[in-house]
Structure 1
Amino acid sequence: MRYDLVSLSLFVAVAEEQNLTRAARRKHLAVSAVSKRITELEQQIGTPLMLRLPRGIELTPAGHSLLFHARQVFRNLDQMEEELSDYVAGVRGHIRIFTISAALMHYLPRAISQFLAHYPQTDIDIEEHTGIGVVQGLLQGDADVGFFSSWTPASGIEVWPWQQDQLSVLVWQGHPLAERATLQLMDCVDEKMIGPHRESAVSHILEREARKLGKTLQTGLRVSSFVSMTELVAQQLGIAILPVNEIAQVANHDAVRCIPLVEPWAKRELYVGVKRYALSSPSVKAFIENVTPMKRAMGAEEGPLLEASLINAGLKR
């Protein structure tokens, strides 16, 4: 069955406006023309898509299904047009990356630098999100590639193991815990804490493990920036628990000391993921293969060798 893009566009407009007149005005068409297109679309599909009511329309279950898929079609067309316009401009590739800060502050810049050394005509957009935000961006098609931790549920995403990190405790010099070589969460739960924002994976895992100990974390301050957390610890406003690669950025701070948290759950994998590797663009496939050499997606089909397709697409120098 073939669908006319104009009719699909009009259907989306009617569904979003919930009114034929407003949709016709939005599309600069007569109401009768819009109504005719919708009727023809319903005849083509063989079922009603909307109920005509005195004050507007209401989608049927079939209409809701068509709206979802029509939006996907137009999102893909927009992405295709954007990527093709990049080829015209000489960019030859566009990758949208959503990432957690743990990857952005430490590992990702080097990975991108190495990738661009081989594929310099690739345009890369990077946005920082929580792990949940990264996965949602992949599922909704707002991101091509995502970096997040194994603590984030990722159903529907194809993932590759990428890096590892571990939680450590940040204390100020002179704190009673500062002379310890290692720590456990039980050593810290009664301390005044400086925590990350509530939706972060680190926040969720710490609260979960504290509950197992029958404790509640005494989190008086929350900030999104790990650098800011370090400064707050230096001012003796509380201690903080951060991924060790975050602490590596500030471990030379004269006023603070970082101590490993030696608990099995404190170690985590960092993943790189895509929604569907098989449907990804050549530039995205090249990026995945570049940052995860010799690795296979967990639960995904193994990707083919990309050299020929990359040369054909103009991505390979």
Structure 2
Amino acid sequence: MRFDLVDLRLFVNVCNAGSITGGAANSCITLQSASERIKGIEDELGTPLLIRSKTGVITTEVGRVFLQHAISVLQDVDYMRDELFQYSKGLHGHILLACNSSALNEYLPNKIAYFLKNNPHISFTLQEKLSLDIVHGLKSKTLPLGIVSNSVQLQGLQQLPFCDDELVVIVHQQHSLGSHSEVSLQDIVQEEFIGLMEHLALQQYIESHVKQLGKRLNYRVRLSSFDAVYQVVANGVGIAIVPRYTAQRLAHKDISIVTLKDSWAKRKLVICSHCFNELPQYYRDFIDCLTTNNL
């Protein structure tokens, strides 16, 4: 197939802009050149990727598949460029780790800090993703290492236990739920919620289970961190679902921690790879760091 990175980036920009004109502008090429390049991709593939109209463009089914692959290829190229740049600065290794919200925000920072301190020539790229997407990336070998919830199917991957990641409900003690020891999602789905931003992996995980109940959460506000969510609840506004580790770390005299008794909330995090032995030695050293109680 005869399309290059310029074509791929142009197609992504066109889809994001909703028009070839906007995509051309964001790609810093002329409209005529952009149109010719898009037409060239379609001719090469033998099928339309875009449905054009006076108001813009939308992707066909094939176009959506092409878009996903284009994004993946561009991300890989960016990762390659970043890693090689790190080597040019004297670093001897770069670790790409995909993980969910809980791992990224709660369990990894101290571990990574310890490892970096003891391995001055290693750098990291962390990607926050849904566990299901991480597993897909590991199985397709587009991701080398991941930390995921054991709630997803992990067949075909090598695994090591990392930590418990139980989800709980936090409420102000004066809230009607403040005296409860445990609740189910069904019990609280009508409450006012303080949530994480919609693109964050944990929030998407929670909402997937809300949808299974045929419900939608009523958000008073969405915030970017567990700490910010906790502060709002501590001030008597709404309730939230957070990792138990977070609730205990931020323990506040006015906050009650209520067990979420749904089975999906009893999560464990596991370290996964397609094959640990195929990873560079510095990856395996980091895995040893993750699985050792050195902090």
Q: TM-score of the superposition, structure 2-length normalised?
A: 0.62
Q: Which residue matches 1:124?
A: 124
Q: Which residue matches 2:255?
A: 256
Q: Which residue matches 1:91?
A: 91
1:193 aligns with 2:193: yes
Q: Which residue matches 1:163?
A: 163
Is there any run of 5+ residues in structure 1 with no aligned partner, and where? 1-7, 19-54, 62-67, 294-317
Task: Call closer, same or farther: CA 1:221–1:104 in 2, change over 3 Å.
Answer: same
Q: What is the rounded CA distance, in whole Å, between the counterparts of 1:14 and 1:242 in structure 2? A: 42
Q: Which amino acid is 1:147 matched to?
A: I
Q: What is the rounded CA distance, in whole Å, between the counterparts of 1:77 and 1:179 in structure 2? A: 50
Q: Which residue matches 1:59?
A: 44
Q: What is the rounded CA distance, in whole Å, between the counterparts of 2:44 and 2:97 in structure 1? A: 34
Task: Call closer, same or farther: CA 1:206–1:244 in 2, change over 3 Å.
Answer: farther
Q: Which amino acid is 1:289 matched to?
A: D
Task: Call closer, same or farther: CA 1:283–1:189 in 2, change over 3 Å.
Answer: same
Cα deviation per residue 1:94-116 (whole Å; 9 max; x = unaligned)? 11223222112221122223433
Q: What is the rounded CA distance, in whole Å, between the counterparts of 2:5 and 2:241 in structure 1? A: 49
Task: Call closer, same or farther: CA 1:172–1:280 in 2, change over 3 Å.
Answer: same
How much has 1:273 moved relative to structure 2?
Answer: 2.6
The 3-state SS of whatever aligns with 1:179 is coil
1:96-245 to structure 2, matched below 5 A, reads 96-132=96-132, 134-135=134-135, 138=138, 143-152=143-152, 158-198=158-198, 200-204=203-207, 206-207=209-210, 211=213, 216=215, 218-221=217-220, 223-224=222-223, 225-245=225-245
The 3-state SS of whatever aligns with 2:183 is coil
The 3-state SS of whatever aligns with 1:238 is coil
How much has 1:276 moved relative to structure 2?
Answer: 4.6
Task: Call closer, same or farther: CA 1:264–1:11 in 2, change over 3 Å.
Answer: closer
Q: What is the rounded CA distance, in whole Å, between the counterparts of 2:128 and 2:40 in structure 1? A: 40
Q: CA RMSD in A?
A: 4.3
How much has 1:205 moved relative to structure 2?
Answer: 5.1
Q: What is the rounded CA distance, in whole Å, between the counterparts of 2:260 and 2:79 in structure 1? A: 46
Q: What is the rounded CA distance, in whole Å, between the counterparts of 2:95 and 2:230 in structure 1? A: 32
Who wins on radius of gyration, i.e. which is larger?
1
Q: Which residue matches 1:271?
A: 270
How much has 1:244 moved relative to structure 2?
Answer: 0.9
Q: What is the rounded CA distance, in whole Å, between the counterparts of 1:97 and 1:182 in structure 2? A: 34
Alignment size in residue pairs? 239
Task: Call closer, same or farther: CA 1:223–1:146 in 2, change over 3 Å.
Answer: farther
Task: Call closer, same or farther: CA 1:163–1:88 in 2, change over 3 Å.
Answer: same
Q: What is the rounded CA distance, in whole Å, between the counterparts of 1:284 and 1:261 in structure 2? A: 35
Is there any run of 5+ residues in structure 2 with no aligned partner, and where? 12-38, 47-68
Task: Call closer, same or farther: CA 1:135–1:197 in 2, change over 3 Å.
Answer: farther
Task: Call closer, same or farther: CA 1:12–1:248 in 2, change over 3 Å.
Answer: same
- 1:98 touches 1:126 (CA, 8 Å); kept in 2? yes
Cα deviation per residue 1:240-289 (whole Å; 9 max; x = unaligned)? 122212222322x3432212223433201112233553543332232223
- Percent same amino acid at aligned positions? 27
Task: Call closer, same or farther: CA 1:103–1:78 in 2, change over 3 Å.
Answer: closer
Task: Call closer, same or farther: CA 1:128–1:144 in 2, change over 3 Å.
Answer: same
Q: Which residue matches 1:286?
A: 285
